[in-house]
Structure 1
Amino acid sequence: MTTEVSTRIRYRHLFIHFIRNYNLYDDDDELNWSDQLLTTRVFIVTLSIALFMVLSVTAVIPQSRAITVDSPSVRDFENIANRYPNAFTCRCSQISFPYKQFFSFNPRFHQVCSSDLISEEWVSSLFNVTTSNYYPLDFRLMASAQFQVLSALCRIVRNIVSDAVNEFSATIFVSPSALSRTVFDTYTDTLVDQFNKTTLENFRILNGFISFIIGEGHFISALRTNFYTRSVPGSDKYTTFSGIYQQKVNLTQSSFILNETCRCDQTSNCIYPAGIYNQSKVIIPNEAFSNDASLLFVVPGFQVGCVPQNALLQSTLECFYNQSCLDIVITLTGALRTVSALNISNSISRFDPITAIGDIFDNLMLESWHSFPDFAAYFKICAPAVCSYSYIQRFFFIYMITVAASLFGGLSVALHTGCSLFVKFLSKISCQQTQTLTPDEEREPRRSCRDRAWNMGWIAYEKVTTFNLFKTAVTNVEQGIYSTRVYVLFLMVGIFVLTIYFTKVIVSKQVIVQNPSINQFEELNEMYSSILSCPCSRLSMPRSTFMHYEVQFHPFCTSIFIHDELWLQYFTMEFLNGTIDPTPSFYWIDLRKSGLTFFNYMRILCDFSTTTVSDVLNAFEAENYFSSQPITKLEFNQLTHNWTNSFITQ
């Protein structure tokens, strides 16, 4: 223990002795030993202070670092996007490509469209040769036709959805820069929502137009549910009567509200609860259909009416979710017995069992679109060759050490010489103050300023010509002087080369422009298009904020021929006194005979085109345009031009 303590004390004394006697100027003959030690300590202190100041400045000053990643992978890109969401740029090598390359759909339809209820076997089993003998209120009269319509509706929506998906998949997606996963997910969610709304809107417009045309045509159903004919006794003429249905009828209650009726010659939407009756009855002209016949069973939610399609759309499938109800229908109609009820589980469908079939049809019988955007596929197609990002960093250790190391050599040489001169200067002043005045005769004669300047110049010349930094390393004085000159020469050349390098090298500098104007953005994009990053404050905005269309229709659609009641009144043969000639004596090809029908159809077409264009324009302008970065004016004009062409061709 005593030996260890003594060894420790001895090393401590040796270390203190080394520090006290550490001498960097032992080769300077102009300084005595004490001045050499003083100069060494001054040099160490000043060098330490200088290095500390350099490190402090480089640590505090923010440094903008620009990093470039060549051919980044998906993982690299996501790391960059997550860490520097507003300071990265990755230009796509392919800026436009169809959605089908990274987007797919697997739409799921209402379960009825894949059930036995629309099978040909089920539809055929509901029909027999005596079907037309049933009373118009009997479920069996139009059941086969209604389920045939239901099967057609399923085929229609499948075709419409398939066509819409194919059209969407062929649409070109423009992406100048790679989108981050977060932005990509937000964009695709918005895209699917817009696609859903647009598809439904277009379908409803077309369906409404077709339904309106069919309604205006007043087609006669072969089932005698909207119109039926009677022969005039004693002649070869026939009289057509309109079907009349009682309204607000509930067959499950003992009291009915029979004071309201609906005529099929006025609307084809008249309905009545479907039932199965024990017997049929004769149709009485101009009287409402009644349920005086013996009622066997009421089919819950199902309706009969003027035409099978309209009655079906106002019906529900609640009976066909219940196996017991379905079994009763099968027993009373003699239909196919292998048919199973629909699954009533809430997890299967977003529609309730009591939802009208028309509402389901208006939603394309879709349970979900099941969209599958593939970010990895999108990034692979985008394939950015280079990703660049920048960030601000303080206390960058490598940069601090690099700057300190680069300045250390110059500082050490400058301070080594400067400290020596400084101490010599102090010693000289101290010696002059301690000298006693000598007699006048011993003093040197006072020299002129010219002589002093010459003397100082000569001293400086001698110092330069005899300057030697290698007194200890090189024993030969002349070789030491030449080595010093070579060292100084190379040092000056190095400083010159570094100066030229730093004037030519491109240094990354981050410049932030708050709320730039259009002109500023255009100028910056023209100068720094590959590294410019201008994150939008709003990722999406309706097109109506920057686009508006004004449509001009054919003059006929705004003319008096379809809007002036006086003009249309002529074709009804309504005279000024209020009387009407029901049988004007015009030939059947005379315009005055068919003019009203013609102009009514033209009015329907004009109204449909006006409504359609207006709705499509509203939907188009309401769609959100998605952009994480602003685009140039040229790109904007090209984009809007493509939108307009696409809109016109729809």
Structure 2
Amino acid sequence: MIDLWSPNISFFSYYQTFAPLSCTIEYIGKNNILDVITSIIGIFGELSLELKLFFILILRSSEKIRNNLSFIAMKTVIKNLFICYNQQQMITRLQILFLTISLYCIFLYSTYTTQLITVEINKPTYSIYQSLSLNYSQSLQCFCSNISIPYQSFLTIKPRFHNLCSSQFVSQDWINYLYGDGDLVYRYSFTDFRASAVGQFQLLASLCEISQETVNDSLVQLLTITPNLLLNIFNLIRETLGANMIISVWSVNWLIASESIIYSKWAAHTIPIVYGKCNCGTSWTCTQSSQGMMTGCYPLESLLQTTLQCFYNQSCIDSTNKFAQLNISSLKTSQYQINTTIQSILNNLMIEEYIINKTYEN
């Protein structure tokens, strides 16, 4: 009899429960300038002699520059730096030149070449996780502290039942009103639904109560197991009642015949009631329409085959206006049409929809 489910899923609760120990991200980036310099020094570490000569020349040149600040002195220093007086000096100059060019090329290559960089973040907060998820969703990986948690930690599901289950039609006042002064069997014909109306609405109230208890007791397994489990038990009860041809207390399926009909001394026999062309002696699902409702061999079958139309019609449900009809505007938010049977609604445990609240943060 559920009209609507209201799921509430909390991502924050979900995150807090799993509490990632660490997260890793990968991205394409350039080498750090310090890493480049370190790599260059490591590569050319064996050329310490040439580097030493290079630094010695630089130091000597800087000393001469400090001692001779004139333009002519500066010009002489630069000239002497590149003028070779013998073969050994020329070889040294060339080595320094090639070393400098090589260092510069390696520096440029290392600086502008991209590589895959992996970064690990320990115990990230939820805000950090959100930022990482936004910027590095493709490569983000987090290792959770818990591999499993109960659904109730981050997911709540609240069912909204059909408004029939919260209406006055399942109240004791309505049932007492229908019962009136009693003796319904003698006040109404068996073809009048009012003869078994009390039984039908008592069953409706019971179905709503059973549905609500079933949903509350088995909410976690509700979507897959609970509806079928309840309906299997319910159908077993229906089949048992029908197969045994149990006489209804409302006298809507069998009549007690007198001895004048059976020609026997005070022997009580039963006569099946016929609805249209359907005989309660051969079928326990016989029903026929009666004043917008249904009447038949059993109040339960009559109720299940009844549609919602009468409940939204004041003249149909209660012409005295003592009990008001269901609000017709509620159909706008309902998944069921006005011609839907109670059986169809019961198949969904009277549920209208699921209202889900997700708190993934936990």
Q: How does 1:38-187 map to 2 (within 5 A)?
A: 43=96, 46-57=99-110, 59-60=112-113, 62-128=114-180, 129-133=182-186, 134-165=188-219, 167-168=220-221
Quote the Cα distance in structure 1 between the aligned partners of 2:74 and 2:335.
87
- Structure with bigger gyration radius: 1
Give the match's secondary structure for 1:121: helix
* Structure 1 position 317 matched with structure 2 position 308: yes
Give the 5 Å matches for 1:26-37. Answer: 31-32=84-85
Number of aligned residues: 289
Q: Secondary structure at the match of 2:239?
A: helix
| 1:219 alignment partner in structure 2 | 246
Q: Secondary structure at the match of 1:360?
A: helix
CA–CA distance in structure 2, aligned partners of residues 215 and 339 of structure 1? 34
Distance of 2:245 and 2:73 partners within structure 1: 118
The counterpart of 1:198, out of the listed 219, 225, 246, is: 225
Which residue in 2 is equivalent to 1:270? 286
* Aligned-pair CA distance for 1:64: 3.2
Flag structure 1 segments of 5+ consecutive residues without an equivalent. 1-13, 169-194, 247-260, 275-297, 378-650
DSSP 3-state at the match of 2:227: helix
Q: Is the 8 A contact 1:25 1:37 kept in 2?
A: no
Distance 1:265 1:135 in 2: 18
Give distance in 1, aligned partners of 2:356 and 2:73. 79
Distance 1:39 1:204, change over 3 A: same
Q: Say which SS state the counterpart of residue 333 (structure 2) adopts.
A: coil
Q: Is the 8 A contact 2:256 2:268 kept in 1?
A: yes
Does residue 242 of the first structure (1) align with residue 272 of the second (2)?
yes
Provide closer, same or farther for how the CA distance between residues 273 and 45 of structure 1 changes in structure 2, counting only shifts above 3 A. same
Following superposition, the deviation at residue 344 of structure 1 comes to 3.6
Q: Which amino acid aligns with 2:178?
A: L
Q: How does 1:258-297 map to 2 (within 5 A)?
A: 261-274=277-290
Describe the superposition over 1:265-295 as per-residue Cα deviations: whole angstroms up to 9, x where unpaired: 2221100111xxxxxxxxxxxxxxxxxxxxx
Where in structure 2 are the equivalents of 1:132-531 lying within 5 Å? Answer: 132-133=185-186, 134-165=188-219, 167-168=220-221, 195-233=222-260, 235-246=265-276, 261-274=277-290, 298-299=291-292, 302-326=293-317, 329-331=318-320, 337-377=322-362
1:106 CA displacement: 1.1
The residue type paired with residue 235 of structure 2 is G
Give the number of the structure whose residues are more often strand, by fraction.
Answer: 2
Residue type of the alignment partner of 1:308? P
Measure how far apart 1:156 and its partner are.
1.0
Provide closer, same or farther for how the CA distance between residues 350 and 25 of structure 1 changes in structure 2, counting only shifts above 3 A: farther
Contact 2:314–2:324 (Cα < 8 Å) also in 1 = no
Q: Which amino acid aligns with 2:259?
A: V
The alpha carbon displacement at 1:330 in A equals 3.5
SS in structure 1 of the partner of residue 324 of structure 2: coil
Identify the structure with bigger relative contact order (alpha carbons < 8 Å, sequence gap 6+). Answer: 2
| Structure 2 Cα separation of the partners of residues 24 and 113 of structure 1 | 104
CA displacement, residues 449-492 of structure 1 (integer Å, 9 cap, x when unaligned):
xxxxxxxxxxxxxxxxxxxxxxxxxxxxxxxxxxxxxxxxxxxx
SS of equivalent to 1:51: helix
Q: TM-score, normalised by structure 2?
A: 0.70
Contact 2:174-2:323 at 8 Å conserved across structures: no
For residues 121 and 36 of structure 1, do their structure 2 counterparts lie closer, same or farther at Cα, with a shift above 3 Å needed?
Answer: same
Aligned-pair identity (%): 27
| Displacement of 1:209 | 2.0
Deviation at 1:73, TM superposition (A): 1.3
Q: Is the 8 A contact 2:331 2:338 kept in 1?
A: no
Contact 2:313 2:325 (C-alpha < 8 Å) held by counterparts: no
- Structure 1 residues 56, 24: CA separation in 2 closer, same or farther (over 3 Å shift)? farther
Query: Judging changes above 3 Å, is the alpha-carbon distance between structure 1 residues 114 and 23 closer, same or farther for their aligned structure 2 residues?
Result: same
**Consecutive unaligned residues in structure 2, runs of 5 or more:** 1-68
